[in-house]
Chain A
């Protein structure tokens, strides 16, 4: 043997040994996976097969104090599809799958045609079956008596056969047919005659026959079964046709595709517009320095080394430097340019006042308006002036917006109100293996008189996914915090997926427990009438942006009405204000976190500021209960009635009858100062009391106190901190201006405490849960003498008589007006306030009304206050009934 051969053999041997070794290694590894690590992997597979489905609990109905419905829950599951996620080629198959899952009894149902198109075919088949069934006793002997060789089974004519065999009678169940090939041919002929060539029909007939050998019996039994099945199928088709596609298949497909594309085009146009606006406003926010006041401008000019602090000079510097490209300059110039631009950018932002910052923040789409946040936002917006760069920037923004808003395309709701089993079946069948399907719990909430929107802001809304949007709906979620009778208790379903696509329910499941029926203290009819009054008030004061009112029952503290205008149409509100899903979701999450106490007061302030900025545009904004936080609703001179009580009770040196010369109202005593609302008088007398004592006195009446479901403890605490904070001054506190913030709910509650003679009770909005009456809040006492109350009441009666008209007299109203002078972003406008109680000799209700941003004073609201009192106390009053 040659040396080459020997070498080859040796090497080949080693190669074979190597492969053998690899084989052994692989087998060892196989054994390791299957036997050593097997248990862990098998456990993981089992865990993967188990799916835990959260079963959201529906909420109970919401009723008014008389049991009249305000909101009703209609729950179920929705099946949506995302057409853009389907390839055109498999869309029909996908739809067939999901429809079969929705109606598994139609599993062989072809989707190629519309359901309603199939109904005639099924009916024709049904008719043929019927005829076959009836003719069977005559046909079968004919079949059997005809020689097989002469019989053409494939050319049978049912009508002809039936006619020929008409005289023959034959008992259906007595014929015994031998097992032979003839049987199959007979069955084939029958099936063919029935026009039902489906394999399962044929095999079912054969199976029936083979069991009895009695053809007639088999045919009879099977025909009955087939007739029943066809009849059922026809009913199902009809139902499916009606329920699913409204009987119009073409319209369904058109809506499916056309609406999708139309929606996308519409949204794209909207994004284009928004982005153009954003860019334009963003640039404006950086460049326009004319709004900076002189001190700021001087500081900026000094920093830039300019002799002239005029806006034009600074803008000229800006134009000069911002037009230069630092990359093309000398290093020194570059540093200078960057320095100047940084100063201008930074100073421009810092020099803006609060309202301007808010405007810029809104324009830039950021939700914090502090200077740092704006600088960051502006820093991200690095735009050159060229059109191409602008377009490029827009396209990037557009792409991101599309990703955010249209991830997966616009869903098309295919089915709503599906039962849980159907939802699980669809999710199980397609949710995991096929893109484009979404099954969600859908909680439809129907609100009473949605067009007029009675109490919509108060109730809030639940969207289709069961997420609360504002109002009590949100408060029930956020304040209640944990599952219970108010928001229901979610359930859990643990299921194991089986390889045959079936499901096995596992232990540990629990059904959802829906929330119980809630009854509010609101009187629905009164609420509606108060809203009408406020609408009229708004109409009578052109330019005013909103008004709100609160009515409290003095005996129980129940809130009878908490209304505001403009009234909101729930549907429009949803479409108009919640369309921008991303922004809303972000804000809601932040606000929820703040309400839970997860944010400091400043954050809450920022959030609510943003909300308040939008308040003009968003009628669903809660003006009546929680709006006062951002110092937009100081009560004005309404607080003077409480200041007067404080002087009467606590100030030993105070002489109520002493006439004091004032610069604003002339010489007045306490009565005159209240009636004429003298700021100087109250500043003069309260200056020795101290700010904190005055605030504390107001708070003993109900200011800055939490109201369950309506004013959170965190919000009340934060308001208190603002009221006693470094920015608040005694003068403002004494006359109800500045940082003293409140809402009509609080003012009405304070007035109620006064009217009750010092008995403070927390207002109640939730009357009963599931038929169980909620306990009244225990009263607390504010000590003041009846004499002091009488002095204040007399002044309030005179004010009501002077300004409240006939209704004030009729209801024996006692009232006090207040005017909040707004400054800054809102110009020289006022918030008009009034609060009172009636009847003054035996008080039953306390009311507060406010009108936002009007050139008029608090007097503007007294007529409405009196009218609301009349609506409560004299409800049969003509002209106010709807």
Chain B
């Protein structure tokens, strides 16, 4: 019980720390074009906190049971975006509901992870390529819709998440390699489908020295300013609200897509490295929850959410550092953007829910293991050795200590009621 509480506390602390950093940096940036993002950010924190409490109270099994509905809801919203979405910055990504702008692709990322966690929970689902038809379809549809918005960055986030979940679901190595090869091939073919500005962004990242001044001013401008902002930071940064680039408003989208550059400018190498450290720590914590949980669905959920979070964070930082093509990717918990904050906090609440309710699966494992567990539970038989006891989840005295290690969950009883 203590370890469970510690995991939850640790998660809450890390998320709180990131949100606090977000508040500080947003306050440092202040209003942009008359929009007080820092105040809006605070409002969304309050909303997200309330939503997190609600999600935390819902058993994640309930969420998993309704995964298809959640997924279809997300898909519907994505289709709605195509029909009635609002165009900003030449992209149709938002729909306005009751005066509030919502970005359905942010919701869809998590809906996808939840859906896949449910679909891949059966061991056979990840063992054969044929069994991947339904999950593949579930992946392709949202990716295509998001790609069409266009939001290439978000669309590509699905790929590492899906691969990690397949990895966690036990897909054989050979099939993983084949899948990766297919992915690489499709990426090469997909390059031709990119818009000219997207190609220019890719070039501006990897061939900065070759760009003309006009090209730099067009597509490489943000990247150039981002790198300059980071370089201005030095070891300890220029201090809160003292960043020259920030105060002179040289960096566009510094409140969301380039917030890491502001962190690096104002808090220097120390602050920026610290932020990377916190991101890594949170990722490790989420994955450790998945590591410790005994339920296949919960484990996949944690892996999916953890990798999704890590991918988005690292891609954001990589874009800011100029080692990935520029794409509109906010830094979770730090960047402005209500939908992003809300969904990320809810996702963490879901992970917390998984951590709080490790699902012991009595029916898992081989017949022998099951019998041993049952006998141990009934106190009829002591384990013959320590290894067997660990597998059966019983102590050396033969008393039940907790859920054992299962080998499969073909017979899955209801959670929380053993």
Contact = CB atoms under 8 A, between A and B. Distances in A.
A48 interface: yes
Given A4-B408, A8-B299, A12-B287, A38 B231 contact: yes
B323 interface: yes
* Tier of interface size on chain A: 35 or more
A42 B243 CA distance: 12
Contacts of A31: 269
Interface in A493-517: 497, 499-500
B234 interface: yes
Interface residues of B, number: 52
Nearest to B407: A2
A30 B273 contact: yes
A8 B170 contact: yes
A685 B317 CA distance: 95
B154 to A, nearest CB: 19
Interface stretch (A13-21, A444-452, A805-813): A13-21
Contact of A45 (B244, B303, B390): B244
A42 B291 contact: no
B36 interface: no
Contact of B247 (A30, A35, A499): A499
B321 interface: yes
Contacts of A259: none
A33 B168 contact: no
A81 B365 CA distance: 77
B203 interface: no
B17 interface: no
B79 interface: no
Given A1-B391, A19-B310, A34 B170 contact: no
Given A2-B406, A8-B168, A33 B248 contact: no
B264 A30 contact: yes
A120 B118 CA distance: 73
A41 B265 CA distance: 12
A88 to B, nearest CB: 14
Nearest to A46: B244
Contacts of A3: 407
Which residue among A19, A37, A38 has the maximum number of chain B CB atoms within 10 Å of its CB?
A: A19
Contacts of A2: 365, 391, 405-407
Contacts of A19: 280, 283-284, 310, 314
Contact of B232 (A30, A41, A93): A41
Q: Chain A interface secondary structure, helix, strand, loop or mixed?
A: helix
Nearest to A7: B170
Interface string B268-286: 1100110011011001100
Contacts of A407: none
B233 interface: yes
Given A33-B227, A33-B230, A34-B233, A27 B273 contact: yes
A255 B264 CA distance: 49
Interface in B223-243: 227-228, 230-235, 242
Contacts of A44: 228
B184 interface: no
A34 B280 contact: no
A11 interface: yes
A5 B403 CA distance: 14
Which residue among A1, A4, A33, A499 has the maximum number of chain B CB atoms within 10 Å of its CB?
A: A33
Contacts of B277: 23
B299 A34 contact: no
A38 B279 CA distance: 25
Interface in B140-175: 164, 167-168, 170
A333 interface: no
A41 B231 contact: yes
A636 to B, nearest CB: 57
A111 B29 CA distance: 27
B250 interface: yes
Nearest to B387: A1
B262 interface: no
B307 A30 contact: no
B85 interface: no
A228 interface: no
Interface of B: 34, 123, 164, 167-168, 170, 227-228, 230-235, 242, 244-245, 247-250, 264, 268-269, 272-273, 276-277, 279-280, 283-284, 287, 290-291, 299, 303, 307, 310, 314, 317-318, 321-323, 365, 390-391, 405-408
Given A7-B170, A44-B228, A499-B242, 11 more contacts: A2-B406, A4-B170, A5-B405, A15-B287, A15-B303, A26-B323, A27-B276, A29-B318, A34-B230, A35-B269, A93-B34
A-B complex: 6 closest residue pairs judged by Cβ atoms: A41-B231, A499-B247, A2-B407, A38-B231, A23-B280, A29-B321
